[in-house]
Structures are given as C-alpha cells and as structure tokens.
Structure 1
Amino acid sequence: MHHSRLCALVLDSQVDDLAEGARFWSAALGKPVVTAGPDDDGRYAELKTAEDEPIILLQKVGHESRVHLDIESDDIDAEADRLQALGARRVAFVRGRWWVMQAPTGHHFCVVHKQRDSFGTHLNRWDCG
C-alpha cells in the first residue's frame, strides 16, 4: 500500500531570467514569490500556496516552455509502477530523486517524494499488489 496526490504545477520556462517570469506569475496569480527553490541554483522559483493547494513551481529549462504536473508519493517506485500499469512509460530517473514519466497522451509528468509535511485531505490510497 502507498499514497499519492497531485503535488505541483510546474511552469517549465525557457528563459534567461527566471526571476522576471516569477514576478509575472506572482502578479498574475496573486501568489507571492517565496523561495528560490530546492537547489537554490537559479533554476527554480516557488510561489506561495496554501497547504491544500498544489505547489506552483517555475523551473528554468532548455526545452520549449510548457506546464507539467508533479505527483508526490510516499513510495515513488510503487507509484511509477502503478502509473506504468495504467499505460504511462518511464522516461528517466533524475538525480536519484524522481521519475520523469510520459502519459499515453504524450504529456511528461514527474513522480516525486512527498514535498510537504502533511499529505493533506486530497490523498489517494493505493493497494497495489
């Protein structure tokens, strides 16, 4: 048994200056910029969201700008297995920390470790086996 839920909306941004994009999305969504992100290397910026809302993360990328979802789980391998059984495919295991997956629709998304202390009320419980 493992748990998962929608974790984040990630704005993949092909830009030179991520701070400018963060200022735009902050003003557009009414969410202040709160952090430079998990690696603090200028590749990430996070907007403040409530505990029961998805995280909104801007990520500086080399590919075309797009939006992708992150699904957080207390067992990322079990969640990737479950999603693969539903028709997704594994694309890459990144930095030994998360799975990049591709849905049957062609969209890429990530399966990541739990990002907040509490999973909150929108938690799914999966009895796979």
Structure 2
Amino acid sequence: MAHRSRLAGFIIDCQTGQIDPAADFWSGALGLARGETDEDDGDGAQYAQLANTADELYVAVQKVSHPSRVHLDIESDDIEAEADRLEKLGATRVEFIKRWWVMQAPTGHRFCVVQMKHPERGPPPNQWD
C-alpha cells in the first residue's frame, strides 16, 4: 500500500524532575522560543515545544524516566506501513506506545514513527509504494 513519510522533528529526552528548567536551557542553547508545556493524556508525560524551527520541524523537550538522549520522529500517514518499510531496511520494532511505534535502527539509535499531522506544511513527504 502506498504511503507517505518524512522527518517530523527531534525530541530532547530529559531525565529530570522538572521540565521547565530543561526546556529553558534548550530554548536558550538552540535560540528557539519556548512554547507551552503540556501533559500528554494525563499519564504524567510532559512536553515543552520549542518554536520558530526551520521547515516547521517539531522540536520539543520531553520529561522521561530513561537516561537523557535525543531521538527523532518520522511522521507518516500510515504508521504500520512505515514501520514495515523501516523493518525491511533493518530496523526493529521495540514497543507500541499509545499511538506510535518506538523503533531501533541497526545502529542502535531509537526513533519513533508517529502519525502525520499536517502534510500540507513543511517539505513535501516522500511517497513510498
């Protein structure tokens, strides 16, 4: 089945007790304005979006319980088809969380496959058959 995907952005995972100081640091370090801090689905996950990014990439600071790291998100209009495509390239599915796949590249890097929100914004998505 044909589907589309592209780089959605970068998530700065921070193992921290407070998201605001972490978001303030990354906002200043990257020269990006602070967006709002919000919780996702009431499960304690916290995100602080950073604004004014190039090509409307999503960049956010996320409070996590695992060691701090940066990961990228690939957005797709069909996350199952995209996960299948990436598996054929050598990636493995790690875990399905809420509405996205956490995957691992053959190089050991973790990344997520998420639902595409605004295909009309930013660079055109890649078309896959």
TM-score, structure 1 as length reference: 0.89
| 1:87 CA drift (Å) | 0.4
Aligned equivalents of 2:101, 2:119: Cα separation in 1:
21
Instruction: Please identify runs of 4+ aligned residues in structure 1 that moved more than 3 A.
Output: none
In structure 2, the residue matched to 1:59 is 62
Question: Does the CA-based 8 Å contact 1:2-1:73 persist in structure 2?
Answer: yes
In structure 2, the residue matched to 1:49 is 52
Aligned equivalents of 1:48, 1:60: Cα separation in 2:
18
Render the CA deviation track for 1:79-100: whole Å, top value 9, x for unaligned.
Answer: 00000010000011101x0000
| 1:116 CA drift (Å) | 2.9
In structure 1, the residue matched to 2:111 is 109
Rate the CA distance shift 1:117–1:4 in 2: closer, same or farther, 3 A: closer
Structure 2: 5+ residue runs without aligned partners? Answer: none
Task: Select between 25-34 and 60-69 the one with higher mean Cα deviation.
Answer: 25-34
Aligned equivalents of 2:37, 2:27: Cα separation in 1:
13
Task: Select between 2-11 and 50-59 the one with higher mean Cα deviation.
Answer: 50-59
Question: Is it true that 1:24 corresponds to 2:25 in the alignment?
Answer: yes
Aligned equivalents of 2:31, 2:124: Cα separation in 1:
23
Q: How does 1:1-129 map to 2 (within 5 A)?
A: 1-37=2-38, 39=40, 41=44, 43-50=46-53, 52-95=55-98, 97-116=99-118, 118-127=120-129
More strand as a share of residues:
2
TM-score, structure 2 as length reference: 0.89
SS in 2 for 1:63: coil
Structure 1: 5+ residue runs without aligned partners? Answer: none
Aligned equivalents of 2:90, 2:39: Cα separation in 1:
30
Question: Does the CA-based 8 Å contact 1:49-1:55 persist in structure 2?
Answer: no
Render the CA deviation track for 1:47-70: whole Å, top value 9, x for unaligned.
Answer: 013472421111111111000010
Question: Does the CA-based 8 Å contact 1:36-1:42 persist in structure 2?
Answer: no
Question: Does the CA-based 8 Å contact 2:74-2:112 persist in structure 1?
Answer: yes
Task: Select between 63-72 and 30-39 the one with higher mean Cα deviation.
Answer: 30-39
- Residue type of the partner of 1:103? A
Question: RMSD of the TM alignment (CA)?
Answer: 1.8
